[in-house]
Each structure stands twice: as C-alpha cells, then as structure tokens.
Structure 1
C-alpha cells in the first residue's frame, strides 16, 4: 500500500508539474465502480489489480524508451515500471493461490466480476473531456470517443496492451467462453 500511495503522489506531482488537470472517469463508470469495487475479493481483487497494472505497464514500457515522449513522463514511466514489476509478480502468485479450492460457482462469480471490471476500466481510455481539452468541438467529443474505440489501430493497440494479461488470466482459468463477450467489449480480447 505504501508503494501505491507513493505512486499516486508521484503521478499527481507529475501532472501538476506538467500543468495537466486530472480527469475523472465518466460518471457511469464511477457509479458502477462504486457498486463493483466492494465485491472484489480474492481472485477477482488480484485480477482487477493486474487489469490496471499490466495494461498500463505495456504503455509505460513503450513511453519510457521513446525519445519523442516528454522527459518527465519518460522518467515517471521508468520509475513506475521498475516498482510495479514486483507488484505484478505478487498479484500473479496471489491470484493463483486465491482461486485454489474455490467452488465452481464462487470461481464463476470472480470470473464475471473480473470481466465487468475489464469492460468498465478500459472505457476510460477514451474520455470526452480530454478531447475537449485538446480543442475538439465539445458536441463532437462523445462521437470522437466512439470513433476512437471503433478505430482498428486503437483496437489493435488495446489488444496488444492486454495480451499478456489475457494470456495469464486465460491460463489461470479466469477467462472462459462465458466471459469472452465482456472481454471483447473491453477491447483487450479480439
């Protein structure tokens, strides 16, 4: 928890230094998140943590080595990647332990909850207020977000960002045929 608290402070200071406002997830995602988050325990808790950490990890690994990225963003990405690798290994191990000995119904609950988390979390990669902030017409911003999600390059990028996570969760039995439609909606699975 101390590491994660430090990371939040690091990201907050970086945003402040860069003059970037913080953007909250859309209201629907926040509302549904309040209902879903208290349900996360055991396998779904660790899977949801991996969902965020592994997807961001892929993007940050690219950013930290790209000379075109602003130097402060590259350094923050580098620090976060180094520290998160330990957290990711821990969450992998804990998820596997948490699912051992669980009944089929309990495990299915965790699988479904994880799939819903994936779908909700990945919708925040397109956020209309961000488009408005960079000068797009506010009335078109929502349409721009839908267009971005439909863009084949964006969809390939999201699958690339999630490929390690999806492979691990599939191998761990956390993604089965029943969850695949929700995972496809998250764009992490083709």
Structure 2
C-alpha cells in the first residue's frame, strides 16, 4: 500500500473541497434541446485543421461550418477514448493506495468527473447528429496497453498532455461569443472541472519523476511520446473529412502538412510540453514521436 506525503494530502484536500463547490451535471446544466445558431461555427475557424489550405479556400461558408462541427465531434470522440483510459488507470492506481488518504479519494472524485464528461461528450455527438469517430487499431491497442500497464511518470504525463491540449482549445471556445452556444457551454463545464485534474496531474508527475531511476525514465519518455502522437492523430481522423465530401486520406494529409494547424497544435500543447521538458521527459529517442506529431 502506498503512503502519502503532507504536500500531496494538502493538494488533494483542496481539490476535494473545490469539487464539492464547482461540479456540474451536464444532463441538467446544459439545454440540449436549444436550437443551433444558423451560420455559427463550432470552433474558431482559424483553429480548423484545414484553415488556410486550398481545400479550405474551395469550401463555402456552410461547408466550413460543417467541417468544424465534425472536428468538434471528432475531438469529443477522442476525449471519450482518452477519458475511458484515464479512468481505468486511476482506478488501478487507487487499488494499491490507502483508501483513507485524500490523494486516493481525489482520484475517485476525478473518475466521477470523467464519467460525467464522457456522458456529456457522448450527448454532444448525438445532438450534433453525427457518428463518433473510432480509434484506429493502433490507437485502440495503445489505449488498452496504457490502461493495463501505465504507472508512475508516464501515467501522469499522458493524463496531463491530453488534458492540457483539450483545455487550450476549450478555453478559447468558451470565451468566443460568435460560436454555437451549445459548444461554449460544454467547453465551460469541462474547463472548470479539468483545471482540478491538471493541477493533480502536474504536481504528482513531479513526485513520480523524482523517485524514478534512469531506466524507468527512459521507458517513460517513449510511452509519453507515443501517447502524444496518438492524441494528435485522433484530431485528424479521416472520417472527419469524408463527412464533408473530402477524401479522408487527402484531408488528413492536408491537415498534417498545414502550417496553420501545426502552429495550432503546438500552441495547444505548449504548457504541457514546457512542463514535461523541464522534467526531462521530452528528449532522447522519444523525440521522433513528438516530431511526428509536430509538437516540437
């Protein structure tokens, strides 16, 4: 059974208190039947993966709006995929902890948050009237592997990376009054609750790195790099482009080669990459995965 340090318990106590004060049930906090705003985008158009490309230039306004709708649905699908993995990692970690510790109890509070978030994202996809995107065989296998084996530094780094990327997009969405009200409300709820998760992961990651040996850290760097590449891969799923009449492979290739989108994903991951870099987790052979994902 693991022990807890005073600073870890202090953080967890504060996060548990914050959870009681600011948590939402998306099934009642969101008006799921409210009509959509005609012509409004679902994300800032300059954050679209095809913004600035020839494909974007050839699209009408309505087609661009439709593309951002499918990109939002794709991101929500990826969010459910990752949150399902995250919940299983946290529960597996909880299994070996002192159940009376605040640190362990906050892990359960985070799992409760993620359950609601996954329901919220699923309801969003349904309301958009589109099909969820499925993880590739490679990403599906990676998720199964992470949920079954990830511990220590690479577990918390993977959590932090995915949460920080989604958080960056959603902070911008929630503040943009020109966007669809539904997506702004979904983003607002997720940002408020994910702020607690980010702090929990950031502080615990530092502790895990400090107690890891060089071989363990070398392994963690590889796993973290693979997780980073998987997160970005889910944002350019071929089905997103097929849904708006673009060949899936062509759309994905155009997105990954798009300098605007490369800048966007570097922006979205900047805080996480900086934190991981300071801890020595973005280096060595694992850099091939970060470069493949255009994150460094």
- TM-score when scaled to structure 1? 0.92
Instruction: Give RMSD over aligned pairs.
Output: 1.4
In structure 2, runs of 5+ residues without a counterpart are 1-110
Aligned partner (choices 225, 229, 251) of residue 119 of structure 1: 229
- CA deviations on 1:139-167 (whole Å, 9 max, x unpaired) are x2212201110111111111111111100
- CA deviations on 1:39-82 (whole Å, 9 max, x unpaired) are 31111111111111000000001111112321110000011001
Report the equivalent of 1:149. Answer: 256
Specify the SS of the correspondent of 1:188: coil
Structure 2 CA distance for aligned equivalents of residues 33 and 181 of structure 1: 20
Specify the SS of the correspondent of 2:285: coil
Structure 1 CA distance for aligned equivalents of residues 248 and 226 of structure 2: 25
In structure 1, runs of 5+ residues without a counterpart are none
Summarize the alignment of residues 5-20 of structure 1 with structure 2, pairs less than 5 Å apart. 5-20=115-130
Aligned partner (choices 154, 157, 172) of residue 44 of structure 1: 154
Structure 1 CA distance for aligned equivalents of residues 284 and 217 of structure 2: 14
Deviation at 1:177, TM superposition (A): 3.6
Q: Does 1:171 align with 2:281?
A: no
Deviation at 1:34, TM superposition (A): 2.7
Q: Does 1:110 align with 2:220?
A: yes
Structure 1 CA distance for aligned equivalents of residues 177 and 259 of structure 2: 25
- TM-score when scaled to structure 2? 0.60
Structure 2 CA distance for aligned equivalents of residues 181 and 28 of structure 1: 17
Structure 1 CA distance for aligned equivalents of residues 178 and 294 of structure 2: 26
Q: Which runs of 4+ in 1 moved over 4 A?
A: none
Report the equivalent of 2:292. Answer: 185
Q: Is the 8 A contact 1:44 1:110 kept in 2?
A: yes
Report the equivalent of 1:159. Answer: 266
Q: May I ask how many residue pairs the two structures share in their alignment?
A: 186
Report the equivalent of 1:90. Answer: 200
Question: Considering only CA atoms, is the larger Rg found in Structure 1 or Structure 2?
Answer: 2
Q: Is the 8 A contact 1:50 1:91 kept in 2?
A: yes
Q: Does 1:130 align with 2:237?
A: no
Structure 1 CA distance for aligned equivalents of residues 176 and 258 of structure 2: 23
Q: Is the 8 A contact 1:161 1:188 kept in 2?
A: no
